[in-house]
Amino acid sequence: MPDATPLTPGIAPGRLSADALSDNFDDLHPAYAPHEAAVAADRCYFCHDAPCVTACPTDIDIPLFIRQIQTGTPEAAAKTILSQNILGGMCARVCPTETLCEEVCVREAAEGKPVEIGRLQRFATDTLMGAGKHPFTRAADTGKRVAVVGAGPAGLSCAHRLAMHGHHVTLLDARPKAGGLNEFGIAAYKSTDEFAAKEVDWLLQIGGITVETNKQLGRDVTLEALQGDYDAVFLGIGLTGVNALRADGEDKEGVSDAVSFVADLRQAGDLAQIPVGRNVVVIGGGMTAVDAAVQSKLLGAENVTIVYRRGLDQMGASKFEQDLATSKGVRIIPNAQPMAVHGNGAVAEAEFEYTTSKDGTLTGSGETFRIKADQLFKAIGQTLNGAPDGLELEGRKIAVSGTGATSVAGVWAGGDCASGGDDLTVTAVAEGRDAAEDIHSTLMGGN
C-alpha cells in the first residue's frame, strides 16, 4: 500500500466497490474509432496560416496531420506529430487543448465547437504505437556523451532528440521509474492502462539512451562530476519542493500535499487501498488542485471543496477543468485564503478569510468562515529544490536563454525547473527538444 495520508477517524480506504472505482477512473476522453476519427477530421478547414499551429507550443503542423488522418494514413499523421512532439501521445491526453489549439480553431469561433484536435492526435499516435513502430532512426555515432538529469517530459524529449542526432545519452532520474510528471503527476483518469510507462518504453526504441533511476542530483551525483564525465549536461529536474501553507495548524494529522496524493493514486495497484476522507478540502487553484479534488470525489469522499484565494478567472486550472470538477460534485469557493487548521491533533475544520483584489493586490476582508474537514490537501504550487550552486537563478527557477542555455557553459535546462514558459507538459517537451538542438549544434561546432 502506498505511503498515503496518516489515517484519522474520518479517513479510510475502500469507500467504494471495485466496480465503482473502475468506472470512476475510466478514461476521461475515450479514444476515437477509425470511422469517428475520419468524421472528426473532415470538419477541419485546413486553414492557411492556421491559428491552431501558432497556439501549439511544439508547433505541430495540425492541418497536415488531420489531412493525413482524413486520407487514411494515420501513421503518417503520427510521424508529423512526433517529429515535433515526441510525447505526442501523452500530450494528446493531458494537454489543455481547450485553451491552446482548440480555443483558436476557426470552427470554435464560427460554431462554438472546435475540431477535436487532441482526440485526433491521440488516434494517430495510438495507431502508430499500437503497431509497435518507431518512425525515427539514429544518425551516425558522433562519439559525444550527454547527461540528461530528470526523466520527465523535458528530459525525455531532450534525450530522444540527442539520440536521433547520434549522441550517447545517459538519462538519470531520482525516482524508481522514468516519466516524471507524466508518470507521477497526472490524474489517473487522464492516463489509463499505464500509458506513461509504455510511452517511455516506446521512446527508448530510438537506441543510444541509457536510463539510470534512483540517481538524485546532489545526493548521488554532482553537476561538477557530470561536467567532467560528459560533453554536455541538460537539467530537467522539475519542481520537487512544495510550498508551505503558512497557516496555523498545518502540521496536524490529515494535512498533506496534493502532489503526493496524486502520485500515490498513479502508482497504486489497487485504488481501494487509497485512504480518503469524508470531508476533503483542497487549497489551491491549479491543475493539481483539480486533480486531487476530483479524484477524492471519485474515491468516495462525500464532500469535496476547492478553496482558491483569487477569482475563478485567475485560477490556473482551465474553465474546462473547473467545469469537470463541478460536474463531479466538487464545490469551488473563490476569493478566500487559508487562516488556520483546527482540530485536536488531527484536522477537523479549516478556517478561511474572504479576500478582495484591487490592481492585482490581494487583501483580506476580515470576514472568516470555517469548513468541516477530515482531510486537507495543499496544492499551492511547487518550488525548485536542489539547484546546483553556481547556476544563475531568475526568481525561483534556473535562468536560461531561449534555447535553454544556463549561465554555466556546457549546461542547459528546461521544463518546470527553468525560467520562461508555462508549467505544461507540452511546453516542457518543446523546451527539451529545442535545448537538444542547441546542444547538438554546440557539440558539432556550430556555436
Structural domain for 346, as ranges: 243-378
Rounded distance between C-alpha atoms, residue 281 and residue 371, angstroms: 8
Q: How far is CA 227 from CA 64, 145, 148, 231, 415, in A?
A: 41, 10, 11, 7, 20
The CATH number that applies at residue 40 is 1.10.1060.10
Secondary structure class of 292 (helix, strand, coil): helix
Q: Is residue 15 part of a domain?
A: no
How many domains is the chain partitioned into structurally?
3
Same domain, residue pair 197 and 163: yes
Same domain, residue pair 251 and 371: yes
Q: Is residue 412 part of a domain?
A: yes
Q: Is residue 137 part of a domain?
A: no
Q: Is residue 178 part of a domain?
A: yes
Same domain, residue pair 425 and 365: no
Q: Is residue 70 part of a domain?
A: yes
> In the chain, how long is the greatest CA-to-CA distance?
67
Same domain, residue pair 354 and 421: no
Same domain, residue pair 264 and 165: no
At 1 the pLDDT is 43
Domain-ending residue, one of 88, 106, 130: 130
Same domain, residue pair 292 and 256: yes
Same domain, residue pair 121 and 190: no
Three-state SS for 128-142 is HHHCCCCCCCCCCCC
Same domain, residue pair 369 and 250: yes
- Tell me the one-letter amino acid at 302: E
Same domain, residue pair 266 and 222: no
At 7 the pLDDT is 55
Q: Is residue 26 part of a domain?
A: no
Residue 175 grid cell = 525516482
Same domain, residue pair 360 and 256: yes
pTM of the model: 0.94
Nearest to 22 by CA among 276, 324, 270: 270
pLDDT in tens, the chain (447 residues): 444 444 577 899 999 999 999 999 999 888 999 999 999 999 999 998 999 999 999 999 999 999 999 999 999 999 999 999 999 999 999 999 999 999 999 999 999 999 999 999 999 999 999 999 899 999 999 999 999 999 999 999 999 999 999 999 999 999 999 999 999 999 999 999 999 999 999 999 999 999 999 999 999 999 999 999 999 999 999 998 888 898 999 999 999 999 999 999 999 989 999 999 999 999 999 999 999 999 999 999 999 999 999 999 999 999 999 999 999 999 999 999 999 999 999 999 999 999 998 888 999 999 999 999 999 999 998 999 888 999 999 988 999 999 999 999 999 999 999 998 778 899 999 999 999 999 999 999 865
Quote helix, strand, coil % in the chain, to nearest 5: 35, 20, 45
Rounded to the nearest 10°, the torsion over CA 73, 76, 81, 83 is: 180
Q: Is residue 439 part of a domain?
A: yes
Same domain, residue pair 334 and 248: yes
Q: Is residue 364 part of a domain?
A: yes
At 137 the pLDDT is 96
Secondary structure class of 160 (helix, strand, coil): helix
At 5 the pLDDT is 45
Same domain, residue pair 269 and 355: yes
The CATH number that applies at residue 351 is 3.50.50.60
